[in-house]
Amino acid sequence: MKKISRMLSMRWWAADRGEPEPEARRRQPALTEAEVRHQLPSRGAAAAAAAAAGVRKGSLLRVKGTTGRIVADGSDDVDGGGDDDGDARPRCRPCVWCAAADFPRLLDWTPGEPRPWIPLSHVLAPPAAPCPFCAFFRALLGDDARGAVGGTFAPYLRIRRAFERLDGVGERHELAGAVLGEVMARNKTLPRGYVVRAEDDEDGAGAGAYCREGAPARIRGRTVTRMLDPVLPRSWIDFCRESHGETCGTREAPIQGLRLVDCAERRVVCVDDLDGVGDGLEYATLSYAWGARTTADPRPDPDGRLPDDLPPLFADAVSLVTALGLRYLWIDRLCALPLAAAERRRQADLMGETLARAALTLVVAAGEGVADGIPGVGAPRDDHQLSLQTRTGVFTTTLLRPDVEVAASAWARRAWTFQEGLLARRRLVLTPSQAYFQCRALHCHESVALPLRLAPGFSLGRVFPPAGAPRPAQLKERIGAFMARDVSRGEDRLDAFRGVLREYARIDALAVDHFLGLPLFHPGDFVNVAVVGRTDRLAVGLGWMPDRTPPSPPDPPEPCYALDAAAAFPSWTWLAWTLRAGHGAAGHVFGFNLVGEASPMVDGVRSPPRMDAYVGFADGSVLSWEADGEAIAGKADAVAFLRLRTYCFDVRVRRARPQAGSRALDDDAPLSRANRATVEAWIRAAPPPVDEHHGLTITAVLISGRSWGDAPPCAATALICHRRGWDPAAPLVRLGAVGIEFAAFDVQGDDGAVMRSVDTAAGEGGQGEERDLEVRLREVDLY
């Protein structure tokens, strides 16, 4: 099919136009067999791109007004006259390549016509005379077009049907035949997107046209103005209220004691003092990044009145909430922080309910903090939408995909915003380029118009995960995503994730409790275990792994996470670990060793024989994990350490040669080559002092396993621990966790056991030397 399409792209002039193929067109680079990709234009100003492509003052080739529109309709003046000073502008004509391609006809494609691949290499070197189509496609390619002249880069345009490109749109979908212009380019990092026909009168002008029953099954582009028209997001919200019923929730009373900003009175009020709370008071919540520019918190006066000098972002949020027809708004800095510590903690525990009961959550994924305001509300949006006006109509671009734009924002780096975006039932996201709406059933873009009755199955850059009842296996994904977020105070990590944990603790039949963030999977998710005890559940949770990528000895990747030296949590919980500088969150899969992906997730896994667990607190008390569960849950003091009585073994760490400062495990270390290389990478990432000459060891603590003493194959999870700072007098802390494969577990005497036939080549696809490993029952305190 690709070969036939390339032939059509070279021959369709003669077949459909009755014209010879231009000589210059024949000299263009041949199309490559590169993977087909769909791209979106750069957010750079269209005027600058058009100027680079040959636009000059007085030409019809220009960015019209503030819409970023390039005019190529052949008229003398689209505004009905000349320039503002009265001078007429000369006619602007397409270059020979663009004239041969006949882009107005191609973009206005109808079924039955050829769909060629149109090379766009000529737009990389703009012609001497201004060409509107060269300007449009050069602006569309953005940074990908710069510096590419003379190379082998061959961008091209294809006409696509929606079912060929859009997730959720099959061949029998009502939107299957929608026409999309797709520009393929060399730069794989370009955002994805399309060129589509813009809305016109026959589509039914007005923001609510696509909400009504019987709206045409089309995908159209919507002009994004510099200031947000609140009528459009209001139509999305109203459609959700009327159409989604229980899916997106009905009105509910706010949690008791919740304080809200009364946007009409500009003061903070308590919901307990308001009328109509029992009928379901409607309010919005605000999710944002505070930033570093403003240090002083705005505080209401003793009567609750807001200060006159609210940060721009807060002031814009109040204005937008009012324009959307709501009156009350929850802002943490104004409503929660002034509360007493006990009440603030109670409301933090109920954060999930606060978000779920809100009529709307405003997500400000723009700027670096509260001093920047909200684009399109308090100040015009800087980036113009790129569009093209031809004789067959206006074609516009769908702008930067919202999920790409949001992921690059300061909002997406902040830990507190994770649960705010995840748990809200309706979100209105404000990005630098457009507004985006997502409820539990659909998502909408300001730049894309389509019938909202068809939107639930349509996917074009969904920002938040699809809605649905939480499943235990999903919690691993949530933890992994949260670990990549930044939090200014380490002690806030649990509070910033508490709402998510609470949601999973409410799952029907398979509730997942937690202990300092460690999931305690429900006994019903264990199979092939006679009796599931609290120690078994804790043992599985301790086996978390922040990166499940298989190691590749002898040079495994450096660890992506590091123990936070200032962490307010013990090393054995993921709350104490942060992403290392220079490591992105992409590609890392958080999980638990020996735990599957679907319920029941834990097959035959339990704690080692004779294992006991105790919890030590800052006040010096130590409670039994198995017997004192209620006392541990009600304890107000901070957890200091975890005492485990289980089987362990030590491995000596020696100096490696020829590098005097590097370290390696002892040659007789009873670990597979993959595990050995991984542990050595951990040691390199947290090295002992260079002048340390005494003998160093690491301790492997067995915490869970499958088929203890049963028929092979057997597998175990071992925590790899070392002395904090490699100081022999310091407490043990976690370094990582590894899996060990063996044939049988042979208990010997009161405190000894032998792991038979430990596979030293496990994980490498081959068989290595099998060795017996002696382990001893010890009591260790992990900090």
What pLDDT was estimated at residue 27? 35
With 70 as the cut, is the pLDDT of residue 774 above it? yes
Q: Which residue has the tokens 């969904």?
A: 462
Whether 569 contacts 516, CB under 8 Å: yes
Q: What is the mean pLDDT of residues 99-113?
A: 91
DSSP 68: T
With 90 as the cut, is the pLDDT of residue 139 above it?
no
Least confident of 101-105, 276-280, 772-776: 276-280
The CA angle 320-325-327, to the nearest 5 degrees, is 80
Residues in a beta bridge with 181: 159, 195
Position with higher pLDDT, 624 vs 141: 624
Q: Are strands 69-72 and 387-390 parallel, antiparallel or unpaired?
A: parallel
Q: Are 745 and 607 in contact (CB under 8 A)?
A: no
Distance CA 663, CA 654 (A): 6
CA angle 782, 524, 536 (to 5 degrees): 20
Q: What percent of the chain clears pLDDT 90, i.e. is strictly above it?
A: 50
Cβ neighbours of 615 (radius 10 Å): 22
CA distance 29 to 118: 11
Mean pLDDT of the chain: 82
Name the β-bridge partners of 156.
Answer: 119, 184
| 56-81 mean pLDDT | 48
> Strands 591-592 and 577-579: what pairing?
unpaired
Burial environment of residue 151 by CB neighbours within 10 A (0 to 12, 13 to 18, 19 or more)? exposed
Write down the pLDDT at residue 577.
95
**In the block, which residue shows the tokens 């929660």?**
336
Per-residue pLDDT tens digits for 282-334: 999 999 998 876 557 788 988 889 998 999 999 999 999 999 999 999 999 99
Greater confidence, 699 or 49? 699
Could you tell me the pLDDT band of residue 693, with boundaries at 50, 70 and 90?
low
Residues 202-211 have a mean pLDDT of 53
Span 409-447, pLDDT tens digits: 999 999 999 999 999 999 999 999 999 999 999 999 999
Q: Which amino acid is at 89?
A: R
Dump strand ranges (E) for 626-681.
639-655, 663-665
Tell me: the pLDDT tens digits for 575-614? 999 988 877 666 667 999 999 988 899 999 999 999 999 9
Compute the chain's Rg from CA coordinates.
31
pLDDT confidence band for 455 (50 / 70 / 90): confident
Interacting residues of 97 by C-beta distance below 8 A, sequence separation 6+: 22, 24, 25, 28, 122
Query: pLDDT at position 689, please?
Result: 84
Q: What percent of the chain has pLDDT over 70?
A: 79
User: Which pLDDT score is estimated for 124?
Assistant: 80
Confidence band of 89 (pLDDT split at 50, 70, 90):
very low
437 neighbors 443 (Cβ within 8 angstroms): yes
Which stretches of 484-565 are DSSP H helices?
493-504, 534-542
Residue 718 and residue 702 in contact, taking contact as beta carbons nearer than 8 Å:
yes
Distance of alpha carbon 370 from alpha carbon 286, whole angstroms: 11
Of the CA atoms within 13 Å of residue 367, those in its CB half-sphere come to 24
Q: Which residue carries 């014209």 as its tokens?
A: 19
Confidence check: pLDDT of 200 > 70: yes
Cα distance between residue 449 and residue 175, in whole Å: 12
CA dihedral of 201, 203, 207, 210, whole degrees rounded to 10: 170
Residue in the block written with tokens 């994730």: 497
Instruction: Work out the angle at residue 421's Cα, subtended by the Cα atoms of residues 440 and 404, and round it to the nearest 5 degrees.
Output: 95
d(CA 426, CA 441): 9
The amino acid sitting at 55 is V
Nearest residue to 347 via CA among 251, 253, 258: 258
The whole-model pTM stands at 0.84
- CA pair distance 131, 139, nearest whole angstrom: 12
More reliable by pLDDT, 443 or 168: 443
Q: What is the pLDDT of residue 192?
A: 56
Range 362-375 average pLDDT: 94
Tokens of 635: 């304890």
Q: Is residue 46 scored above 50 in pLDDT?
A: no
CB count in 10 Å sphere of residue 565: 10
DSSP state of 544: E
How crowded is residue 424: how many other Cβ atoms within 10 Å of its Cβ? 25
| Residue of 672 and 22 predicted with greater confidence | 672
Q: Give the pLDDT confidence score for residue 759 in this predicted structure.
A: 78
User: Is the previous residue joined to 41 through a cis bond, with omega within 30 degrees of 0?
Assistant: no
DSSP reduced 3-state for 10: helix
Reported as a single tens digit per residue, the pLDDT across 487-534 is 888 899 999 999 999 999 999 889 999 999 999 999 999 999 989 999
Task: Check pLDDT > 60 for residue 473.
Answer: yes
Work out the average pLDDT over 368-384: 89
Q: What are the Cα distances from residue 656, in Å, to 184, 360, 667, 673?
A: 50, 59, 11, 16
Predicted confidence band of residue 770 (pLDDT cuts 50, 70, 90): confident
C-alpha–C-alpha distance, residues 75 and 632, integer Å: 79
Confidence of residue 56 (pLDDT cuts 50, 70, 90): very low
What is the rounded CA–CA span in Å between residue 339 and residue 268? Answer: 12
Nearest to 573 by CA among 779, 733, 739: 733
pLDDT at 78: 36
